[in-house]
Amino acid sequence: MQNKEFGDPEDDEERPLMEHILELRDRMLVTLVAIIILSVIAFVFSFEAIRWVVNPVMDPSELVVYDPLETILIQFNFSFIFAVGAGLPIIIYEAFKFMEPGLFENEKRFFALITPASLLLFFMGVTVAYFLVVPVVADLVFYMGEGVVEPAISIELAYNFVMSIIATFGFLFQLPIVLLLAIKTDLISPTFLRDKRIFIYIGFFVLASIFSPDPTLVSQAIVTVVFIILYEASLAVGWYITPRTERDIKTFLRKFERTGGLFGVGGALLAFYLAVNLGLPWWTLVPLVATVFYIGHRLSFRVILNNKALNIGILGPIIATIATETIIRTLETTNEAIPIILIVILILGITYGLESLQKHIQRKRT
Protein backbone atom coordinates (compact mmCIF):
# COMPACT_ATOMS: atom_id res chain seq x y z
CA MET A 1 0.00 0.00 0.00
CA GLN A 2 1.44 3.36 -1.02
CA ASN A 3 1.93 6.16 1.49
CA LYS A 4 -0.67 8.83 0.84
CA GLU A 5 1.88 11.60 1.37
CA PHE A 6 4.87 10.21 -0.49
CA GLY A 7 3.50 7.42 -2.69
CA ASP A 8 2.79 7.42 -6.37
CA PRO A 9 0.67 10.20 -7.87
CA GLU A 10 -3.06 9.54 -7.68
CA ASP A 11 -3.44 9.51 -11.47
CA ASP A 12 -0.40 7.46 -12.44
CA GLU A 13 -1.95 6.06 -15.60
CA GLU A 14 0.10 6.73 -18.72
CA ARG A 15 -1.74 8.86 -21.28
CA PRO A 16 -1.10 9.33 -25.01
CA LEU A 17 1.11 12.28 -25.95
CA MET A 18 -1.63 13.80 -28.11
CA GLU A 19 -4.01 13.84 -25.14
CA HIS A 20 -1.47 15.87 -23.14
CA ILE A 21 -1.02 18.28 -26.04
CA LEU A 22 -4.77 18.79 -26.42
CA GLU A 23 -5.19 19.40 -22.70
CA LEU A 24 -2.30 21.88 -22.75
CA ARG A 25 -3.94 23.67 -25.69
CA ASP A 26 -7.28 23.95 -23.88
CA ARG A 27 -5.72 25.28 -20.68
CA MET A 28 -3.58 27.78 -22.57
CA LEU A 29 -6.70 28.92 -24.40
CA VAL A 30 -8.51 29.54 -21.10
CA THR A 31 -5.53 31.53 -19.85
CA LEU A 32 -5.31 33.55 -23.07
CA VAL A 33 -9.01 34.43 -23.04
CA ALA A 34 -8.75 35.53 -19.39
CA ILE A 35 -5.77 37.77 -20.16
CA ILE A 36 -7.54 39.32 -23.17
CA ILE A 37 -10.67 40.09 -21.14
CA LEU A 38 -8.64 41.57 -18.27
CA SER A 39 -6.57 43.61 -20.74
CA VAL A 40 -9.70 45.17 -22.21
CA ILE A 41 -10.98 46.02 -18.74
CA ALA A 42 -7.61 47.48 -17.72
CA PHE A 43 -7.36 49.60 -20.86
CA VAL A 44 -10.44 51.56 -19.80
CA PHE A 45 -8.72 53.03 -16.73
CA SER A 46 -5.11 52.61 -17.96
CA PHE A 47 -4.35 56.30 -18.51
CA GLU A 48 -5.41 57.29 -15.00
CA ALA A 49 -3.43 54.36 -13.58
CA ILE A 50 -0.34 55.41 -15.56
CA ARG A 51 -0.60 58.86 -13.96
CA TRP A 52 -0.34 57.16 -10.55
CA VAL A 53 2.61 55.07 -11.73
CA VAL A 54 4.73 58.02 -12.88
CA ASN A 55 3.69 60.38 -10.06
CA PRO A 56 6.68 59.51 -7.76
CA VAL A 57 9.06 60.61 -10.54
CA MET A 58 7.40 63.86 -11.64
CA ASP A 59 4.04 65.55 -11.80
CA PRO A 60 2.30 63.84 -14.76
CA SER A 61 1.28 67.25 -16.16
CA GLU A 62 4.98 68.16 -16.56
CA LEU A 63 5.87 65.08 -18.60
CA VAL A 64 6.28 65.34 -22.36
CA VAL A 65 5.55 63.09 -25.33
CA TYR A 66 8.06 62.62 -28.16
CA ASP A 67 6.08 60.20 -30.31
CA PRO A 68 2.41 60.37 -31.39
CA LEU A 69 2.00 56.69 -30.51
CA GLU A 70 3.85 56.91 -27.21
CA THR A 71 0.81 57.26 -24.97
CA ILE A 72 -1.29 54.57 -26.61
CA LEU A 73 1.63 52.11 -26.59
CA ILE A 74 2.15 52.69 -22.88
CA GLN A 75 -1.55 52.08 -22.30
CA PHE A 76 -1.32 48.77 -24.14
CA ASN A 77 1.78 47.85 -22.15
CA PHE A 78 0.14 48.66 -18.83
CA SER A 79 -3.05 46.82 -19.76
CA PHE A 80 -1.12 43.66 -20.60
CA ILE A 81 0.99 43.79 -17.42
CA PHE A 82 -2.12 44.39 -15.31
CA ALA A 83 -3.94 41.52 -17.04
CA VAL A 84 -1.08 39.10 -16.39
CA GLY A 85 -0.87 40.18 -12.75
CA ALA A 86 -4.62 40.06 -12.13
CA GLY A 87 -4.91 36.79 -14.05
CA LEU A 88 -2.06 35.14 -12.18
CA PRO A 89 -4.41 33.01 -10.04
CA ILE A 90 -5.99 31.65 -13.23
CA ILE A 91 -2.59 31.02 -14.79
CA ILE A 92 -1.34 29.23 -11.68
CA TYR A 93 -4.51 27.17 -11.37
CA GLU A 94 -4.45 26.04 -15.01
CA ALA A 95 -0.75 25.18 -14.74
CA PHE A 96 -1.39 23.20 -11.57
CA LYS A 97 -4.31 21.25 -13.04
CA PHE A 98 -2.14 20.32 -16.03
CA MET A 99 0.66 19.03 -13.77
CA GLU A 100 -1.62 17.56 -11.09
CA PRO A 101 -1.77 13.95 -12.39
CA GLY A 102 2.01 13.64 -12.05
CA LEU A 103 2.36 15.26 -8.63
CA PHE A 104 2.71 13.48 -5.30
CA GLU A 105 0.39 14.53 -2.48
CA ASN A 106 3.16 16.31 -0.56
CA GLU A 107 4.12 18.18 -3.75
CA LYS A 108 0.54 19.38 -4.15
CA ARG A 109 0.54 20.64 -0.60
CA PHE A 110 3.85 22.44 -0.99
CA PHE A 111 2.50 24.07 -4.15
CA ALA A 112 -0.52 25.21 -2.14
CA LEU A 113 1.70 26.75 0.51
CA ILE A 114 3.97 28.78 -1.74
CA THR A 115 1.32 30.08 -4.16
CA PRO A 116 -0.45 32.60 -1.87
CA ALA A 117 2.82 33.42 -0.12
CA SER A 118 4.52 34.22 -3.44
CA LEU A 119 1.72 36.59 -4.49
CA LEU A 120 1.79 38.34 -1.10
CA LEU A 121 5.57 38.78 -1.25
CA PHE A 122 5.40 40.18 -4.78
CA PHE A 123 2.86 42.83 -3.76
CA MET A 124 4.99 43.67 -0.71
CA GLY A 125 8.00 44.20 -2.98
CA VAL A 126 5.99 46.40 -5.34
CA THR A 127 4.74 48.48 -2.40
CA VAL A 128 8.22 49.01 -0.93
CA ALA A 129 9.60 49.95 -4.34
CA TYR A 130 6.81 52.37 -5.25
CA PHE A 131 6.57 54.24 -1.95
CA LEU A 132 10.19 54.08 -0.77
CA VAL A 133 12.74 53.24 -3.45
CA VAL A 134 11.36 55.06 -6.52
CA PRO A 135 10.93 58.48 -4.81
CA VAL A 136 14.42 58.29 -3.27
CA VAL A 137 16.13 57.28 -6.51
CA ALA A 138 14.20 59.90 -8.53
CA ASP A 139 15.04 62.68 -6.06
CA LEU A 140 18.71 61.66 -6.07
CA VAL A 141 18.91 61.67 -9.87
CA PHE A 142 17.25 65.09 -10.15
CA TYR A 143 19.41 66.47 -7.33
CA MET A 144 22.62 65.49 -9.13
CA GLY A 145 21.54 67.45 -12.23
CA GLU A 146 19.98 70.39 -10.41
CA GLY A 147 21.15 73.75 -11.71
CA VAL A 148 22.89 72.14 -14.67
CA VAL A 149 20.08 70.81 -16.83
CA GLU A 150 16.32 71.29 -16.97
CA PRO A 151 14.59 67.89 -16.91
CA ALA A 152 12.22 67.22 -19.81
CA ILE A 153 11.27 63.61 -19.27
CA SER A 154 8.91 61.76 -21.56
CA ILE A 155 6.05 59.79 -20.10
CA GLU A 156 7.50 56.62 -21.64
CA LEU A 157 10.86 57.02 -19.89
CA ALA A 158 9.21 57.82 -16.56
CA TYR A 159 6.86 54.86 -16.91
CA ASN A 160 9.65 52.42 -17.83
CA PHE A 161 11.82 53.76 -14.99
CA VAL A 162 9.15 53.12 -12.36
CA MET A 163 8.00 49.79 -13.76
CA SER A 164 11.54 48.41 -13.97
CA ILE A 165 12.23 49.23 -10.31
CA ILE A 166 8.96 47.89 -8.91
CA ALA A 167 9.21 44.74 -11.04
CA THR A 168 12.78 44.18 -9.80
CA PHE A 169 11.74 44.51 -6.17
CA GLY A 170 8.68 42.35 -6.74
CA PHE A 171 10.95 39.54 -7.89
CA LEU A 172 13.63 40.26 -5.26
CA PHE A 173 10.95 39.75 -2.64
CA GLN A 174 10.58 36.19 -3.92
CA LEU A 175 13.74 35.44 -1.93
CA PRO A 176 11.87 33.42 0.72
CA ILE A 177 10.26 31.26 -1.98
CA VAL A 178 13.64 30.64 -3.64
CA LEU A 179 15.19 29.71 -0.30
CA LEU A 180 12.32 27.39 0.60
CA LEU A 181 12.52 25.65 -2.77
CA ALA A 182 16.28 25.25 -2.33
CA ILE A 183 15.74 23.79 1.13
CA LYS A 184 12.92 21.55 -0.10
CA THR A 185 15.11 20.12 -2.89
CA ASP A 186 18.11 19.70 -0.53
CA LEU A 187 20.28 22.20 -2.43
CA ILE A 188 20.99 23.99 0.83
CA SER A 189 20.14 23.31 4.46
CA PRO A 190 18.67 25.59 7.15
CA THR A 191 21.86 25.00 9.14
CA PHE A 192 24.00 26.43 6.33
CA LEU A 193 21.76 29.50 6.04
CA ARG A 194 21.91 30.04 9.78
CA ASP A 195 25.73 29.78 9.94
CA LYS A 196 26.30 32.13 6.97
CA ARG A 197 23.69 34.73 7.86
CA ILE A 198 26.18 37.54 8.60
CA PHE A 199 27.63 37.35 5.07
CA ILE A 200 24.13 37.23 3.60
CA TYR A 201 23.16 40.33 5.59
CA ILE A 202 26.12 42.18 4.06
CA GLY A 203 24.97 41.01 0.63
CA PHE A 204 21.51 42.43 1.36
CA PHE A 205 23.01 45.83 2.15
CA VAL A 206 25.05 45.78 -1.07
CA LEU A 207 21.93 44.95 -3.10
CA ALA A 208 19.98 47.70 -1.33
CA SER A 209 22.76 50.18 -2.13
CA ILE A 210 22.62 49.23 -5.82
CA PHE A 211 18.85 49.46 -6.22
CA SER A 212 18.20 52.23 -3.68
CA PRO A 213 21.18 54.63 -3.67
CA ASP A 214 20.64 57.13 -0.86
CA PRO A 215 23.48 59.32 0.52
CA THR A 216 21.83 59.29 3.95
CA LEU A 217 21.81 55.44 3.98
CA VAL A 218 18.26 55.53 5.35
CA SER A 219 16.70 53.78 2.36
CA GLN A 220 19.44 51.15 2.30
CA ALA A 221 18.92 50.46 5.98
CA ILE A 222 15.14 50.11 5.62
CA VAL A 223 15.38 47.82 2.58
CA THR A 224 18.09 45.74 4.29
CA VAL A 225 15.95 45.31 7.39
CA VAL A 226 13.02 44.19 5.23
CA PHE A 227 15.20 41.60 3.50
CA ILE A 228 16.58 40.37 6.83
CA ILE A 229 13.04 39.89 8.15
CA LEU A 230 12.12 37.93 5.01
CA TYR A 231 15.30 35.88 5.31
CA GLU A 232 14.75 35.01 8.96
CA ALA A 233 11.12 34.12 8.24
CA SER A 234 12.29 31.82 5.44
CA LEU A 235 14.81 30.24 7.76
CA ALA A 236 12.14 29.62 10.40
CA VAL A 237 9.79 28.05 7.86
CA GLY A 238 12.70 26.06 6.44
CA TRP A 239 12.92 24.02 9.62
CA TYR A 240 9.27 23.02 9.15
CA ILE A 241 9.49 22.01 5.50
CA THR A 242 12.38 19.62 6.10
CA PRO A 243 10.37 17.17 8.22
CA ARG A 244 11.42 13.66 9.05
CA THR A 245 7.95 12.20 9.38
CA GLU A 246 4.51 12.54 7.85
CA ARG A 247 3.27 13.81 11.19
CA ASP A 248 5.63 16.81 10.98
CA ILE A 249 4.16 17.77 7.61
CA LYS A 250 0.58 17.56 8.84
CA THR A 251 1.45 19.62 11.93
CA PHE A 252 2.93 22.39 9.81
CA LEU A 253 0.00 22.33 7.38
CA ARG A 254 -2.47 22.69 10.25
CA LYS A 255 -0.57 25.70 11.53
CA PHE A 256 -0.43 27.32 8.11
CA GLU A 257 -4.10 26.69 7.47
CA ARG A 258 -4.96 28.79 10.51
CA THR A 259 -3.25 31.84 9.03
CA GLY A 260 -6.17 32.69 6.73
CA GLY A 261 -7.15 35.56 9.01
CA LEU A 262 -3.60 36.94 8.92
CA PHE A 263 -3.75 37.06 5.13
CA GLY A 264 -6.99 39.04 5.34
CA VAL A 265 -5.58 41.45 7.93
CA GLY A 266 -2.36 41.84 5.93
CA GLY A 267 -4.36 42.64 2.82
CA ALA A 268 -6.46 45.18 4.72
CA LEU A 269 -3.38 46.97 6.10
CA LEU A 270 -1.72 47.02 2.69
CA ALA A 271 -4.90 48.38 1.09
CA PHE A 272 -5.25 51.11 3.73
CA TYR A 273 -1.64 52.17 3.17
CA LEU A 274 -2.17 52.31 -0.58
CA ALA A 275 -5.46 54.19 -0.21
CA VAL A 276 -3.91 56.86 2.01
CA ASN A 277 -0.93 57.41 -0.29
CA LEU A 278 -2.86 57.28 -3.56
CA GLY A 279 -5.89 59.23 -2.39
CA LEU A 280 -8.29 56.33 -2.99
CA PRO A 281 -11.46 55.61 -0.94
CA TRP A 282 -10.19 53.28 1.79
CA TRP A 283 -13.69 52.09 2.74
CA THR A 284 -13.97 50.24 -0.58
CA LEU A 285 -10.33 49.32 -1.17
CA VAL A 286 -9.74 47.79 2.28
CA PRO A 287 -12.57 45.21 2.22
CA LEU A 288 -11.87 44.44 -1.44
CA VAL A 289 -8.16 43.68 -1.00
CA ALA A 290 -8.72 41.90 2.34
CA THR A 291 -11.30 39.69 0.65
CA VAL A 292 -8.97 38.91 -2.26
CA PHE A 293 -6.13 37.93 0.10
CA TYR A 294 -8.46 35.84 2.24
CA ILE A 295 -9.97 34.08 -0.78
CA GLY A 296 -6.49 33.43 -2.15
CA HIS A 297 -5.57 31.63 1.04
CA ARG A 298 -8.80 29.63 1.28
CA LEU A 299 -8.81 28.83 -2.44
CA SER A 300 -5.32 27.42 -2.15
CA PHE A 301 -6.39 24.94 0.50
CA ARG A 302 -9.86 24.11 -0.78
CA VAL A 303 -9.03 23.58 -4.42
CA ILE A 304 -5.33 22.72 -4.50
CA LEU A 305 -4.53 21.22 -1.10
CA ASN A 306 -7.69 19.21 -0.52
CA ASN A 307 -8.51 18.87 -4.23
CA LYS A 308 -12.16 19.68 -3.56
CA ALA A 309 -14.67 22.15 -4.94
CA LEU A 310 -14.62 25.56 -3.33
CA ASN A 311 -17.19 26.11 -0.61
CA ILE A 312 -20.02 28.14 -2.15
CA GLY A 313 -20.09 30.25 0.99
CA ILE A 314 -16.86 31.95 -0.07
CA LEU A 315 -18.85 33.78 -2.75
CA GLY A 316 -20.47 35.79 0.03
CA PRO A 317 -17.56 38.23 0.51
CA ILE A 318 -17.21 38.72 -3.24
CA ILE A 319 -20.89 39.59 -3.65
CA ALA A 320 -20.78 41.81 -0.58
CA THR A 321 -17.71 43.66 -1.85
CA ILE A 322 -19.24 44.31 -5.27
CA ALA A 323 -22.41 45.54 -3.59
CA THR A 324 -20.31 47.77 -1.33
CA GLU A 325 -18.55 49.35 -4.29
CA THR A 326 -21.91 50.08 -5.92
CA ILE A 327 -23.64 51.43 -2.82
CA ILE A 328 -20.68 53.51 -1.60
CA ARG A 329 -20.87 55.69 -4.69
CA THR A 330 -24.37 56.83 -3.68
CA LEU A 331 -23.46 57.72 -0.09
CA GLU A 332 -22.64 61.26 0.97
CA THR A 333 -20.63 60.61 4.13
CA THR A 334 -18.13 58.04 5.30
CA ASN A 335 -20.21 57.23 8.41
CA GLU A 336 -22.99 55.87 6.22
CA ALA A 337 -20.54 53.32 4.79
CA ILE A 338 -19.59 51.83 8.18
CA PRO A 339 -22.61 49.46 8.40
CA ILE A 340 -21.82 48.12 4.93
CA ILE A 341 -18.20 47.47 5.87
CA LEU A 342 -19.38 45.66 9.00
CA ILE A 343 -21.63 43.49 6.84
CA VAL A 344 -18.65 42.49 4.70
CA ILE A 345 -16.62 41.62 7.80
CA LEU A 346 -19.56 39.68 9.22
CA ILE A 347 -19.93 37.64 6.02
CA LEU A 348 -16.21 36.89 6.10
CA GLY A 349 -16.57 35.61 9.66
CA ILE A 350 -19.64 33.53 8.84
CA THR A 351 -17.92 32.02 5.82
CA TYR A 352 -14.86 31.08 7.85
CA GLY A 353 -17.09 29.61 10.56
CA LEU A 354 -19.06 27.54 8.03
CA GLU A 355 -15.85 26.18 6.56
CA SER A 356 -14.56 25.24 10.01
CA LEU A 357 -17.87 23.55 10.85
CA GLN A 358 -17.84 21.67 7.55
CA LYS A 359 -14.31 20.47 8.24
CA HIS A 360 -15.28 19.36 11.75
CA ILE A 361 -18.23 17.34 10.39
CA GLN A 362 -15.98 15.70 7.81
CA ARG A 363 -13.56 14.65 10.54
CA LYS A 364 -16.41 13.12 12.53
CA ARG A 365 -17.60 11.13 9.52
CA THR A 366 -14.15 9.76 8.83
Q: What is the pLDDT of residues 242-294, one digit of tens each?
A: 555 556 556 656 666 666 677 677 777 777 776 776 666 777 777 777 776 77
For residue 267, being part of any structural domain is answered with yes
- What is the C-alpha to C-alpha distance for residues 264 and 244, in angstroms, rounded to an integer? 32
Closest alpha carbon to 192 in 148, 237, 258, 238: 238
Residue 154's φ and ψ, nearest 5 degrees, are -80, 155
pTM metric for this prediction: 0.56
- 317 found inside a domain: yes
Any domain includes 128: no
Degrees to nearest 5, angle at CA 110 with 188 and 258: 115
Q: Cβ distance 155 to 64 under 8 Å?
A: yes
Residue 86 lies in a domain: no
Which residues fall within 8 angstroms of residue 69, CB to CB, at 6 or more apart?
none
- Does any domain span residue 327? yes
Asked whether residue 39 is assigned to any structural domain, the reply reads no
Which amino acid type is present at position 165? I
325 within some domain: yes
Domain-embedded: residue 145: no
Residue numbers of the domain that contains 355: 258-366
For 291-345, what is each residue's pLDDT tens digit? 767 766 666 555 444 544 344 444 444 444 555 555 555 555 545 555 555 555 6
Question: What residues does 154 pair with on adjacent strands?
Answer: 64
**What is residue 355's predicted lDDT score, i.e. its pLDDT?**
58
Picking from 110, 102, 112, the residue whose alpha carbon sits closest to that of residue 8 is: 102
What one-letter code names the amino acid at 182? A
Please count the structural domains in the chain. Answer: 1
| Cα–Cα distance for residue pair 356/55, rounded to 1 Å | 44
Distance of CA 318 to the CA centre of its chain: 18
